Structure 1
């Protein structure tokens, strides 16, 4: 008890002097050990009237009494034994103090770890320790954009930290929820990237990833549609996808329609098209419902002159190609005598055969009668 002497201290003020001269401890016939305990320690008190003293536990002469030497008394406690007991107590107290300090440090480390995992502490991470999110949201990150961001960070520093989680399968690595461009810019500058580390499930990661991009109005319409397709293919529930994209059910339906009905390779070939919104993507979706239009779109996007265009221009080139009506290709079939008996016209969706019955009236009837046989021959040829 701080600032106050203990009961034993008040009752035995001469103990310190006795220990210095190694004299016998005096007797305390009025000292009684109480049956009650406080904090696991026995209590002592002065004997009241009519109470027995504790002289049987603490003899009047601890060195020697009438029955013989103190060394032969079972309850006799010599001064050296008492000193040894006090030494043990002091050692125990020191050990307890060290244990308390150790527990305090452990608690501080635990609290710091909890703050770190909760994303309340910003740390510096080596970009080489970082992996991209398991779901891509951006379609293109140009070198020019990374260069501009790196120059800004060099001048002003990294103001907003990125968000990462401990990698679910790789030790000592982290997975980015958002901030991919900031991480690439820091890597280009050869510096560490400021990050907050948070324990995230897959669902929490994609929600954080999508909502951060939506807050900055950063993803284009087709990137959001593509993000939906990626999340849906990985089995995420509709509620999680809607939270990640921050859209209502009506807007989500538009993303689903465009993202699922336009072939993914055509979306990838066109790119993010930042200036192209939902109405024009839906127009492209309608044009691509014919298989021949899909083939023509792929052919256009494979041309060198279109591949080098910016993303918005690639979109416009494909739309223009599909909206343009191709001139029908006409062929003339002549018989062995050189007579033009059949006129064949090919379009994207049809083939028209016209036979001139004036020169060979029965040829058309013969050809029609053989169509079933010709088709069976065609099927057999395909099977071979």
Structure 2
């Protein structure tokens, strides 16, 4: 396959995406005729794209989409291109999650828009479509930017203009890829935020800091201090009614902090079976999440 021109820029790929994919839930009726009518394609003729930038598919979210498709069908068409090596087959450009859910819902065919994209255009559209929908986790987003630059020779300035992202955002996201693989796994799983991960990039041992951040529910500012080698503040002295925590209590605090994504402190009163649990939240959104979890909500 011929190597695509490296200085073509993202204009054509982005234009194609904007014409084909509705990033908003609804569009004005007047816009609908401008799009090529959808085709119904048998699921068996559609294949996943091996260069798909999105690698993580939440089982819960996929299950919800499957239930929706069983009830209402696939509302938004997939974008596909003729398969480069298999005649009569199609390769997904955008919409793999819908394709997977449709299979789980046991549909025989799905609506799709066929586009004659080159390999480069297909990859660009896939990345842009996912970014526009905020469907990529931070590591996938960073890897997508890096691939667009390394594989196709785009500059940060070109990407910034085409994607509507600042150059500082692009640079900060791609810096994540310098972290150890295990730390990147924590970010993919949502156990570490992108901000928390960036704070430990310059640390001598980011993996150790990542584990501490998760077990103790550290804030980004606390992580930054650890990364700079600043000593942790000594815990305030406990009243005489409290004793030093044993290893089991500390381990339980770590488990609860990791599960809730918030700092949890457990205190036992000396000579008593009772005690207290303190859960610290940083934002109102975290408080809402905690209330939903305690109330059994999703």
Q: Distance in 1 between matches of 2:175 and 2:169?
A: 10
Match for 1:219 among 113, 123, 136? 136
* SS of structure 1 residue aligned to 2:171: helix
Structure 1 residues 119 and 207: CA distance shift in structure 2, 3 A? farther
Match for 2:63 among 147, 150, 162? 147
Q: Which residue of 2 aligns with 1:156?
A: 72
Which runs of 4 or more aligned residues in structure 1 lie more than 6 Å from their structure 2 counterparts after TM superposition? 319-322
Structure with the greater relative contact order (CA < 8 A, sep ≥ 6): 1 or 2? Answer: 2
C-alpha RMSD of matched pairs (Å): 3.8
TM-fit CA distance, 1:127: 2.7
Q: Which residue of 2 aligns with 1:251?
A: 169
TM-fit CA distance, 1:229: 2.9
Contact 2:74 2:111 in 1 (8 A): yes
- Whether 1:186 aligns to 2:94 is no
Q: What whole-Å deviation, never above 9, does each CA across 1:152-184 have from its counterpart, x for those lacking one?
A: 111122111011111122222222111111000
Q: Distance in 2 between matches of 1:314 and 1:139?
A: 26
Structure 1 residues 331-350: aligned runs within 5 Å? none
Contact 2:62 2:97 in 1 (8 A): yes
Structure 1 residues 232 and 283: CA distance shift in structure 2, 3 A? same
Unaligned 5+ runs, structure 1:
1-117, 302-311, 328-384
Q: Which residue of 1 aligns with 2:45?
A: 129
Contact 1:211 1:246 in 2 (8 A): no
Structure 1 residues 4-15: aligned runs within 5 Å? none
TM-fit CA distance, 1:233: 4.3
Structure 1 residues 133 and 313: CA distance shift in structure 2, 3 A? farther
Contact 1:266 1:297 in 2 (8 A): no
TM-fit CA distance, 1:214: 2.8
Q: Which residue of 2 aligns with 1:281?
A: 197
Structure 1 residues 190 and 199: CA distance shift in structure 2, 3 A? same
Q: Distance in 1 between matches of 2:208 and 2:162?
A: 35
Whichever of the two has the greater Rg, that structure is: 1
**TM superposition score normalised by structure 2:** 0.53
Structure (1 or 2) with the greater strand fraction? 1
Number of equivalences: 193
Contact 1:258 1:282 in 2 (8 A): yes
